[in-house]
Amino acid sequence: MSFTLVQSKTAATGTGSAGSLSVTVTSTTSGNLLVAFLDLNGVASDTITPPTGWSQVGTSQGYASGNGTVAMYYLNPSSNSGGATSFSFSFSTNANAALAFEEWSSSTGWAATVLDTFVAQQNAKSTSCTTGTTGALAGSGELGIWGVGVGATATLTYSSITNGYVEDTGANAHSGGATEAEATLFYNTSVGSAATSSGCTMSGTGSTGNTTILAVFKAAPAVAHGSTLALMGVG
């Protein structure tokens, strides 16, 4: 199996008066996995309402220090009919906000229960970023997507990324404003089955404190050619 990043998009607002944020994308393809990662700065425990059909990865996370809300959402591939070009997320309280979006395809399709596992972690008063470690995965070769949310007046620049994760430079959103929000996605297209291999660490310069959410998604298993023929009655 293999995963392909189809597109990355961002949206942000630094006015502090926004009650929603919409991301404009290239027309999505039916059956693909959609992921959105949001960082809201200035309000603790803000309630985010995603588009219809989207699911939240775990629960919203706050900042270890200061007021902020960080959350990740996904649209299950079986619920993605394709063709959409915009997705809107609303907030219960206005805030500066940054949103990073990705669309992924899988060569074998996706598992019916596409989200395998996840972990969230608050990293306070340090430029160190870490996911924490997930529980054991269902199998090898899964897709890890790691979101990092930063709330400060300066943004992080990332380096020394470990365990095969790659920064998606097309999914790095900055809100600007006095209480800046930054949302960035990283990914690994072949996460292993051992618990420790689904985690990641890195360092950042330019700001302090961050909140991270790592989600690991499963593809459908590949069907052997001989098995396909057998199902068709050909042997």
The three-state secondary structure class of 160 is coil
Task: Return left, alpha or beta for 176; rule: phi > 0 is left, psi -120 to 50 is alpha, else beta.
Answer: left
Residue 59 has what pLDDT?
93
- Local structure of residue 231 (DSSP, 8 states): H
pLDDT at position 229, please? 41
Q: Are 182 and 98 in contact (CB under 8 A)?
A: yes
Q: What pLDDT was estimated at residue 153? A: 67
Give this prediction's pTM. Answer: 0.91
Predicted local confidence at residue 65, as pLDDT: 79
Tell me what pLDDT residue 11 has.
97
pLDDT of residue 231: 41
Question: In angstroms, rounded to a whole number, what is the distance separating the alpha carbons of residues 126 and 205?
Answer: 9
pLDDT lower than 70: segments of the chain: 125-126, 153, 194-198, 206-208, 224-235
Q: How far is CA 106 from CA 43, 84, 109, 164, 219, in A?
A: 37, 19, 5, 19, 6
Answer whether 34's CB lies under 8 Å from 110's CB: no
